[in-house]
Every structure is written in C-alpha cells, then in structure tokens.
Structure 1
C-alpha cells in the first residue's frame, strides 16, 4: 500500500429535486455504500467526503490506482483423501490443476479436527478505472430509498429522475452506465443563475467550479449562511428570527445557494393569534417569523430564495403576496369562529367520526365523562379541580368544528385553548385543552397542571382500549393510528406526575376497558404496549434488565425512579446477590408447584419463615428501606428452611402446605422486583 499512487475520484449524481427531508439520509447512505464497496473491491482510499443538495449526491475520495494484492487460502481435499499410502490420488491431481500449484507449494490446516491441504492463490488485480464504474453502478442500483419512481421509457427507478452522472478519476472520465444514464464530465449550476452545463476537466477542479456556478454542496454551510444572514437582517429590522431547527434543516435542503431576505405583511393581521400566523409562515410557506425582543410577533418574516438572481424585489413581492392571501383567509376564519362560543360546538361532535368502528367524538366524550366518574376518588384534585376536569372533557374536542382548525389541523388543542381563554374559562381548563397532545414525542414536555395531566391520562387510556378492542393496533413497523405515541404519552404522564395517587396504570387501563365495554384480554395487551413505550423512553438512562425487573410489578409509576435507584445503590452488595438467589430458587419451585395450601400457622423453621415473610409483606408499599430490612432477616431463614425441610414431602397435605409457603415467601421477596431478570 505504501507504494500505491492515489488519484482523486469523484462521482456526482444529478437528479430532479429530492424532497428535502430525504437529502441528508440519502447522502449518508450513498457515501457509506461507496466506502464499503471500495473496501470490498480491495481499493484503498483516504479522505472520503460526501455532500448533497436537492439536485445532487456527491462522493469523493482519494483512491489507489490499483486493487491491492490478496492471497486467498483455497482449501482442497483432506490429507487422508489426497494420499493413499503416501501416493497422490486423483483428488489431489485435480486440486493441483485447479489452483495451478505443485504439491510442495501446498500447506496444511486442521479444520473441525480433520487435516486438509490448502493452496495460497493470488487473486487477480484490476485497475481502479476498471472497478470504479462497476462500484458506482452497483451502489446506485441498490441504494435504499424511502420511495422511488420510474421516468421515461426505461425501467430504472430512483427517488427522482436522474439527469446526469459526473464520474472523474483525476483528469480521466470514467464510463459509468447507471439508471439509464451514461456518465460524463459535465455538471450544472443552480437553476436560477447557472442552469447551463459546465464542463469539468479534472476532479480536482470540481469544488471550485461548483462555487463559481453558485452551488454550495455542504448542507451545514447552507444552514450557517441562512442563520448568520438571517440574524443580521432581523437585527437591522429591530427584531430576532424565531428559529426552528427542523425548518432550518428543511429550508437548507430546498436550495443550492441560499439567499435569505426579509418580507413583511400588514400590522392589521396581528389581531390573529400568533399560532395561526406562525403556522401560516412556517408550515405553509417555509418562512421564519420575526419577533420583537419582548417576544411579540413583528409583521415580518425571513424567507430564503435559491441563488442570487437579479430580481430579489420581485421575489420578495411575490412571497408577500402569497402570504397575504393566506393571512387574509386565516383572519376571515378566525373572525368567523368568534361568532360561536366553543361550548356550542359540542353537540356537533356527534357528527364527527373518530373511526368507523369506534363511533363519534361525542361517544368518546361520553366515555371519558363516565371514566372520570368511576375514578373520581383516585385523583389528587379538590372539588374545583374535579369540576375543571369535567368542563375540559366537554370542551377539549370542540375546536375540531372551528373554521381555523379546519384550515389548520395542526392547531388542534391550541385554538381550543385560545378560544377557551377568550371566553373566560378557568386557567386549568384552558391548559388542559392546550396540553391534550403533550407529550407527543420523546423529550416533549409533560402537562404541568393536574387537570391537564388527568385529561391526558383519561383520553389516552380510552383511545388505547377502544382501538385495541376494535382490533386496530400497532403491529411491527405499522402504526397507522399513532398508538405508540399515545402509549408513550400515557406512560410518561403516569410516571412523571403524581395525579394517579396510589393507583396504577393497570387500574386505569382496566377501568377504561370496562367503560368501553371491550374484552378483558385487551387490558394486558394495552398494558404491555404502554410498558414497552415507557421502557424505550427510560432505556438511555437505566439498564433494560433493571427496567424489566421493576416494571414486572404493578405499582404507581412515580415511584419508578426510586425503585431503579435502589437497584443501582444495592446491586453490588452481598445481600442483593443472596436475595436474588433465594428468590430464583423459590420461584423455580413455586412455578411448577401445582395445588398448594397456605396454612395460618406453621411450626419450627417454617413458622419462622412465615413470620419473616409476613413482615416483608405488611410494610407500607412506599417504605422500600424497611422492606429491605425485612429481606435482610428473611434471606437467612430461607437458607435454613431449605437445609432443614424437605419441601416435596411424601405426605400430600404436608407437601401442599410447604409449597404454599414457598409461593408466599417468593411473593415477599419479589414484592418490588422480578429478581429472575436481574
């Protein structure tokens, strides 16, 4: 390798615009597959570089001119087959002809206890210019894509139609045929400023040439330009950009040469609530709102055009015109909504279908009211809080019938809260309506008000048991109704707020299933989904076996952190190990015990064991430290019990009593943890 000569290899795949959300992932996978193929083909490379814009995928590396030499060890016949009484056999002769070797050039290797003849055969080598085109064709043909399409009359499929391929090895054009396109030495600038073809004579001239035709291939640099220029323009206008990182990523992958600019709209539109204006700008137009230092919206936005062009004023005017039309619609819908109080929409929920198998949203509201009525004593709220929960249940889906939400579905809950506040609803009711979809993803915030947390639990429990009861569930990679997201929200609210009091998620799901009149088997199915989602959220912080051991027990989930920390603090102790071993032995016997009887009284060591288990089981559920003290007394008695007592006594009555005691003690030791998974 030290004597190898390296040349610059670059391949650029030119396509019609790749959807922005796929650009980065597709670029990374293209580069990964190219590097893997270079290694597989014995082409040494260094300094790999990848880049992408919506119109091109680029991979570059310094690649050796020739494949490296490699000797393959080819196994031949067993020695016992190759020779008979020291005389070569036809099997050996055939192997020698195949590998073009003499007998003295062979070596021996033992495989599976048998000795074989082995020949070192040097693989043929090819030049990089011969191998690289095959690599590019193979990678492009097998590159995984989120979706693909055909174009023209050919059978090639790619995420978007491929229009050119540039493939250079220093100053040599590599002849690649892939996706119905033959490669060349031509690239193109950005559509606005340099749509014409640009010839590249040498791979080392590629990057400067791109810059000359206003293509910034580095996505991170495009983001930086947008942010830095945007901040400067906003400061000049007396405000700041309301940056959204996901939107910034998207916009950076919509352009090849970003040119940020400011636009504006009439101040009269500021009567419309901020979420509506921001949604109009961000979601519908890919604009960044501008805010005053006090956080209030400015009648201005930051947009990004592709390329420089000579008509920025015209572009600004066009963007302002489009946004003005959207804001005019939004203001019209908002004013229309002001004419009807939120509560007057509730009867209309009877006409809004939740799902064909699940009835309407009015049916869902009725179930939630019944579910709350049946669990009213569970919650850590006073009478006023309970009244707020009932009011929130009546109102929380009413914004589905408002004009603004009909036009901007992503504002469900947000608009309901705005209208509730305007109509004088209590703050807890407003917050419950606003927070009904939180948390909606990992890391999202949990409702911080009890009423909102209660509504979130009731709503999600009903959704899960109703959908599962109708056999509409998350399976494998399919989750068309977002039930995993719903389950995660339920799990996090239950674990991170105290509103359920001493009750458990199992209690809530079982009661919701009863109200929804679904099969009791659904309870375990939903509980398993919710538990798995909670584990997925906590696995970055805690080992999976610990989570499994704790969540195998039914308990109020706000105690989860305490129970996990207990394992962390005690796992290395002698008592921890002894308790685990004692539990596993007890559980192994109890699992196959068959009929058992637990007597009220036992004598001798059995009586001591029963008394020690009683102590461990009667300690208050939240008093983990006292339970651990009882376990410290219990474990030695378990050891003495197994030393002195024959559990499987020939007398059936004695045997059943002792097996019953074993089960009872296993319950005491396993009160907080399933030790068998630790």
Structure 2
C-alpha cells in the first residue's frame, strides 16, 4: 500500500534568486534520502513561494525494502586459532557488521576458505524512517545564511512552520524548536493560517488562502494575465525570462497590471528607461507592434485585484522618481568633457594593491596595440583601438553610470558619439565589457574585441601579479569569467595568436605602474579556461592531449579536440594513435636536435617514412590534418618492424631519432598522442 508524503517548511521571505535553486536542491536531496533508506516511490513534486519550500512524494511505499547482503571476512586460517576458536580478527569483523560469531559460515574462494556473514534486515514502517526527513531540510545549502533567536544553527531565513503529513496523518517531527503539524500560513495580507487536510489537498487548501504553491501555476497565470493586457491595450509586452523567473518568486498570488508614465521621458535613451523599469523596479517593458518603446509598463502585484488603481498610482510614482533622475543625469552628463573625466580617473583606485584606473587603462592600451598588430588590424583600426583605449573607462565618472551602474559602457558609447568620437571607437567603449556572463554576448567589432581582450588580460595579469589568485570556488574579482571571455573572443574571431607567445610577450612590456609576476600561474589559469571551452563530450585524455599540444591557438585546440573525439569512433583510431605514441616515446630520447641525413638510411622503410614526413603539410581543417597524419600509420609500423632505432651505432641511432622527432614535432601541433588512452 502506498501513500503521499507532504513536507512543507514555512519561512520568512526568501530572496527571489534562491527560491528556485533551493526547491531543486530539496527535490534532489529528498530523492537521495528515500533511495538510501530503501523507500520506493513514483515521483517527487516540488512547491515553492518566497515563504515556503515543500515536496510531495507520490505513492511512497509504506515499508522499506527488505535488506540482505553478504560480507566477506578474513581467511579461515586467520579467523580460527589452533584450538578452533574464533580469533579477535573474526570477532571484530562480525561486530563491525552488527552480528555475532553465530552468523559466520565458511565459503571456498579460489581454493581457500574465508569467513562470510549474511546480514538480513526487515524493512521498517515508513513512519519510523521519516524521522530523518528533518536532516534533509537542515542539509540544504544557501548562498547566504543567518541565525535567529538564541539558535546557533544558520539558515537562509527564520523558520516558522513545519507541515508533515502522510496522506492525512500528521507526523511527529521537529525542526529546531518548531514542532510539525498540519498548520500552514496563507498569504501574508490576504490569507490566514490554514489546516492542510491531506498531502493530496495541499494546493487547494493554500489556494483558498491566496497562495499558489505551484511555481509553474503562478508562472502560467502571470503569462496569461500579461497576454490579456496585451490584447486589451493592443500592445506587445517583453516577457524577459530572467525577469519572469524573479517576479514569480517574489509573489504568492500574482496579479499583473499596466501603468504609464509621461511620454516626454521617451526622449531619454531607451537603455536608461529599460534599466529603470526592468532592473530597478522589476517591470516588464511595453512596446507597440512595430517594436517602439511605449510610455507604459507591466508589473505584478503580490495580491488580488482589490484597490488595484491605488497600486498602479503608487508604482507610477516610484518609477517617476527614477525617470526624473535619468532625465537629469542625461542632461547634465552632456556638459562634461571626455578627457577631463579620463584625467580624473588618475585619482580613482582600480585596486589598492594595483593602482589607479588610469594606470590600468594605459597598460590595457599597450596590450591592445600589441594585439591589434598580431591580429592583422589595418592602420585605421589600430588608430581606433588606441583612441578607444585612451578613453574607454571615462563614463564611470558620469552621473548616469553612478546612478545606474548597469549602463557602464552603454552610456559610454552614447556620450562618445555625442562628443564626436568615431563610431568604431564608441562601439568599442561599450563592447569592452563583453561578455558580462560566462555564456554572454561577445563583441561584434574587431576594435571592440581587441579592447575587450586587452582589458581582461591586464586585469588577469595585474591581480595575479599581486597574489590575488582565485582558489577553489573563491573568485571575488571574477577572474575566471574574464579569462573565459578572453578565450571565447579569440575563438570567435579566429585569431591565431598562440597563448604561450602572447603571455610571454606581455610579460616583457615595460610599465612604470606595475611589473607583471606569476607567469606560470597565469598560463595554467588560461589553459584551464581553454579546457572549459572544449565540448564536454570530448574524453578527458583527448582534451589533455590537445592542451599539451604545441599550438596554444584557441580555435585550433578546440577543433583538434572535436576532430579527435570524432576519429575515436573509427576502427583504425587505436592503431593509428598507438603508432604515433611509439614515435613520441622514442623521439623524446633525442637529447639534441639534429637534421636528418638520408645518406645514412639503411633500408627502404626509413626512406619511405622520411619522404612521407617531408610531404606532410597541414591545412586549416583539423579533421583533414588527422586523416593525413593517420595515413602514415602503415609506414610508421613498417619502419619499426624493419628498423632498429636504438642501435649501438650512435650515428645511425641519432639519425633515426631525428626522423621520429621531425614527425613528432608536426604531430604535436595537433596533440600529444602519447597521452591518449587506447586501452
């Protein structure tokens, strides 16, 4: 017989961003708990609002599965003494399994007898096992925690209620000083405490108290309400997924409504209006059917439609203050001079151990000019890179960015254009911040991409140089994200700038403000980010072999890893890799480089391999390069079958190793083939 289990933890309002991940975590940990305790079930349903986390286990077994397991112990000669009595080794073994020596039997394994015991355990009633559910609740991890009252235990927010029902039976559990019951809390303003009649009636019981516990139900309702507003007002509402996710985790009973603002504020840049509405007020943006911004917004109230006009007026008043600020800063910032702001950056600290923002910009300029030359930019583009690097942080000192920091770069582009800067320079001011997240948008222009890489490179090298190196999950300056941005941009634009040469050359740049340090650590950090760029389906040994290649060009490494992973499915892959691995293993024995002398060849197989290696030229296509390299496998095998490489004649030995070294050097531009596992 099966039953439904309901567990609900009632808390003070949680931040919206923790609600969804906490709900997922609760589902995962509850499933793990049930599996570990041998309790069968059909599925786990989750519920969440800002004031509760809940799970319902559907068709939970009323008893654990019975348990039976055999355990192998010491050999019989160790388990028994000379008198046939059980030794301390045997007694300790059974004691550790919760049994006595009466349970011992001897079984023969490979011609020798060993102690065996069988542990049987009848399944307990589900009620007994569920006392451990509280530990599941306590084990949840949150990004921030607090403690309350006189408790030393920390949690995301203070706990007020605990509901624990097995069908309609209330369980006796306790979370800190909160005893479980069937009493839950309704909506903070519209509802009251309510009795949950059974696990199956959970949603209906809370709905009667203006709480929609199912997050998906709330989301569907919000979308439906927005669609109704669109239809009635003949407009289009931008339903941003991140904003929607945040809003539904701020409310328990949503009611969407539309407000408006004075059309005169449409003269402010659209980005300012959108930021004011979405980021600061959590409003959805409204446009006409041609995509033009309208003087309206859509918000979602945590409640019903009672007195909705008052709610609309209150939201319009709050937004008006934001728009007034935006209009003021937009007007005042246009009176500022870009170079005056740049000069003031000399007094703005980038980091107390590193120096000023101005010094950071000057180092970035030197890196950007070098990168522009290496990537083949035209003289005009190089001039644009240098100009952009001279000014690109100026907007940090504008009033608009001071009030709306999300507009860094965006306002810089607009102010630069108003000041008469070239459009490519202005775009680079905006694009140098990209990407703003691990998988975020990348720069579109070459000038912006070069400036973005340069800015991130100086950030990386500067912080590493003063010992501010991320460790474990600790990365307060987002250096992993910046470094991921570097390799992603290099890959997007296909710039074949080897990372090892790039970093080595940057460490040679002279700066009065800072001397770069910790080069090996920087290189390892970059390699780790390249590894992250390689498809997760690529086997680890292939990924490592590619990262130990001699190219250090991001695009080529990614393509090589993907090509090798595809080739690994071919029947001749193992033989080809093993042939190359043998080449690598022997070639590494050559202590000094030497030219190959064909006059020293003693057989046709040496000459054939030499000719093929000389003719081996790679293209831009890694899959094609692998085909060309693997085509040498028969010749390599014939060479080894008919040639003694490590002959006692040192002159011949060196010549043969030089031939193999020549092949290894070419092959290593793809991967270190001796690191690929073929077993």
| Pair in the same fold by TM > 0.5 | yes
2:670 equivalent in structure 1: 672
**TM-score w.r.t. structure 1 length?**
0.88
Partner Cα separation in structure 2 for residue 69 and residue 503 of structure 1:
63
Deviation at 1:509, TM superposition (A): 2.6
Secondary structure in structure 2 of the residue aligned to 1:303: strand
Secondary structure in structure 2 of the residue aligned to 1:158: coil
Q: Is contact 1:461-1:508 (8 Å) kept? A: no
Secondary structure in structure 2 of the residue aligned to 1:203: coil
Q: Is contact 1:491-1:531 (8 Å) kept? A: no
Distance 1:639 1:270, change over 3 A: same
Partner Cα separation in structure 2 for residue 82 and residue 544 of structure 1:
44
Partner Cα separation in structure 2 for residue 475 and residue 150 of structure 1:
28
**Cα RMSD (Å):** 3.5
Tell me which moved more, 349-358 or 607-616: 607-616
Distance 1:165 1:532, change over 3 A: same
Tell me, which stretches of 5 or more residues in structure 1 are unaligned? none
Partner Cα separation in structure 1 for residue 567 and residue 173 of structure 2:
63
Deviation at 1:449, TM superposition (A): 1.6
Tell me which moved more, 411-420 or 121-130: 121-130
Partner Cα separation in structure 1 for residue 100 and residue 367 of structure 2:
83
Matched, 1:612 2:625: no
2:378 equivalent in structure 1: 382
Distance 1:460 1:176, change over 3 A: same
2:509 equivalent in structure 1: 515
Q: 1:150 aligns with which of 147, 152, 158?
A: 147
Tell me which moved more, 655-664 or 352-361: 655-664
Deviation at 1:525, TM superposition (A): 3.4
2:533 equivalent in structure 1: 537
Q: Is contact 2:557-2:670 (8 Å) kept? A: no
1:16 equivalent in structure 2: 12
Matched, 1:33 2:29: yes
Deviation at 1:128, TM superposition (A): 2.8
Secondary structure in structure 2 of the residue aligned to 1:249: helix
Q: Deviations over 1:407-449 (max 9, x none)?
A: 1112111110111222332221222112112223343232222
Q: 1:167 aligns with which of 147, 157, 164?
A: 164
Secondary structure in structure 2 of the residue aligned to 1:45: coil
Partner Cα separation in structure 1 for residue 100 and residue 562 of structure 2:
66
Deviation at 1:593, TM superposition (A): 3.9
Partner Cα separation in structure 1 for residue 169 and residue 152 of structure 2:
29
Matches within 5 A, 1:118-157: 118=116, 120=118, 122-123=120-121, 126-132=124-130, 134-157=131-154
Q: Deviations over 1:237-281 (max 9, x none)?
A: 232112221111111111111111111211122222111111111
2:303 equivalent in structure 1: 307
Secondary structure in structure 2 of the residue aligned to 1:149: coil
Q: Deviations over 1:613-636 (max 9, x none)?
A: 76257x476487996787578655
Tell me which moved more, 574-583 or 50-59: 574-583
1:485 equivalent in structure 2: 481
Secondary structure in structure 1 of the residue aligned to 2:551: coil
Q: 2:316 aligns with which of 310, 320, 337?
A: 320
Q: Is contact 1:71-1:123 (8 Å) kept? A: yes
Q: Deviations over 1:486-516 (max 9, x none)?
A: 1111111111114x4x543333333322226
Tell me which moved more, 241-250 or 340-349: 340-349
Matches within 5 A, 1:287-298: 287-298=283-294
Partner Cα separation in structure 1 for residue 557 and residue 72 of structure 2:
58
1:193 equivalent in structure 2: 190
Deviation at 1:658, TM superposition (A): 4.4
Matches within 5 A, 1:580-591: 580-591=577-588
Q: 1:554 aligns with which of 535, 551, 554?
A: 551
Q: Deviations over 1:339-367 (max 9, x none)?
A: 11334322122112211222222212222
Matches within 5 A, 1:415-426: 415-426=411-422
Q: Deviations over 1:86-143 (max 9, x none)?
A: 98879999989x999997x9755456875345555543554333332x1222222323
Distance 1:106 1:376, change over 3 A: closer
Q: Is contact 2:600-2:655 (8 Å) kept? A: no
Tell me which moved more, 602-611 or 324-333: 602-611
Q: Is contact 1:616-1:668 (8 Å) kept? A: no
Matches within 5 A, 1:237-636: 237-308=233-304, 310-498=306-494, 500=495, 503-515=497-509, 522-540=518-536, 542-551=538-547, 552-554=549-551, 556-560=553-557, 563=560, 566-567=563-564, 571=568, 579-595=576-592, 597-598=594-595, 602-605=599-602, 608=607, 611-612=610-611, 615-616=614-615, 619=617, 622=620, 631=629
Partner Cα separation in structure 2 for residue 614 and residue 71 of structure 1:
63
Q: Is contact 1:596-1:659 (8 Å) kept? A: no
Partner Cα separation in structure 2 for residue 543 and residue 93 of structure 1:
46
Secondary structure in structure 2 of the residue aligned to 1:484: helix
Q: Is contact 2:44-2:55 (8 Å) kept? A: yes
Distance 1:625 1:154, change over 3 A: closer
Secondary structure in structure 1 of the residue aligned to 2:507: helix
Q: 1:64 aligns with which of 45, 61, 64?
A: 61
Deviation at 1:370, TM superposition (A): 2.6
Q: Is contact 1:234-1:241 (8 Å) kept? A: yes
Partner Cα separation in structure 1 for residue 30 and residue 82 of structure 2:
52
Distance 1:44 1:668, change over 3 A: closer
Deviation at 1:293, TM superposition (A): 2.0
Partner Cα separation in structure 1 for residue 99 and residue 561 of structure 2:
66
2:646 equivalent in structure 1: 648
Partner Cα separation in structure 2 for residue 571 and residue 34 of structure 1:
39
